[in-house]
Amino acid sequence: MNKNNSPKVHILNHEHDDLSLERDIFSKAGYELVEAFGRDEELIEQVKDTRGLLHIYANIDATFVNALTQCKGVSRPGTGYETVDVNACRAKGIEVAHIPDYGDGEVATHAAALMLSLQQRVNEHASYTRAGIWDFKKVIAPRRMKNSVLGVIGYGRIGKEFVERMLPFVQKVIVVDPFAVKERLPDRVELGGLDDICEQAHMISLHCPLMPSTSHILNDAVFEKMQQKPILVNASRGGLIDTDALIRALDGDLLTAVALDVLEDEPNIPQSLKERQNVIITPHVGWFSASNIIEVRTRTAQNLVSMLRGETPDRPVPMQEG
């Protein structure tokens, strides 16, 4: 098939230096891969006749979906799909797929690294040392980890791997997850509720998906219940935390330290968070490894090819709440 006459699929707002991996997959399937950049109407105009979308960074809402005339599938290179109106897609016969099971180990390791860095005040000590101040007393001494309680909100694949990494360091773990089964939890891991974590946890890590029921699961009311002035890590989804409430909690000395690999409005970082020595922010990099780069890009493209052929993709996303 002549490339110029091949049906087109589009990749939206990508950051890759080279698309040869994806182009090769789609070329063998008989499609031409086209890059599209922009927002809202500008982006819709470029892709309205597409046969399929590789969704990197864009908001595919109902307006976007309804403008598509020939699209058969939307493929996401990652776990989250909150920027895609899945119900609108399915109503129009457009399947949506994601890659929920890549990089679990990397994300769990990154979250553990952030937690340990906060626990040992690494960022604060390093900041003073870079400034030429060689004085450990500038930083408050940390709690001994083996006497600490770890709270984990979300006990899916990544949450379980995170607990495996952290369990040797702490006294016990409390997990909050409606699907966790008490009888299947490891020793020193307990099933509890958010109030239990607020009361007991010295460390808290988020590992749940973002959906209406979990949006801003950490808010003013929850922060005000926290009794142990915990350290907090979020390597899951930025919208799980109310950012303004987080800043108020830091201002009110309700939290000891915070590490974020995800933000509500990436890549925009509130100035108040930038200025704090007890806050670590990394650029949504928890998934990042040499092997993962190849895996996620390959599987995302292959998912779209399956949808274009009318086949069920490897990982169709569930219907959205509401």
- Catalytic residue numbers read 237, 266, 284
Give the three-class secondary structure for 82: coil
**Cβ 19 vs Cβ 35: under 8 Å:** yes
Give the separation between CA 229 and CA 199, rounded to whole angstroms: 10
Interatomic CA distance for residues 182 and 192, integer angstroms: 9
Residues 68, 251: Cα–Cα separation, whole Å: 46
Sheet holding 32-36: strands in order across? Answer: 32-36, 8-12, 52-55, 73-75, 95-97
- Residue 192 in contact with residue 174, Cβ under 8 Å? yes
Please, are residues 231 and 178 in contact by the beta-carbon 8 Å criterion? no
Interatomic CA distance for residues 303 and 99, integer angstroms:
9
DSSP assignments along 271-313, one per residue? HHHHT-TTEEE--S-TT--HHHHHHHHHHHHHHHHHHHTTPPP
How far is Cα 240 from Cα 211, in angstroms, rounded to an integer?
Answer: 9
Alpha-carbon span 12 to 54, nearest angstrom: 6
d(CA 155, CA 147): 22
What six digits make up the tokens of 132? 């030429």
For tokens 């390791």, the residue is 109
**DSSP character at residue 54:** E
Tokens at 199, concatenated: 């009361």
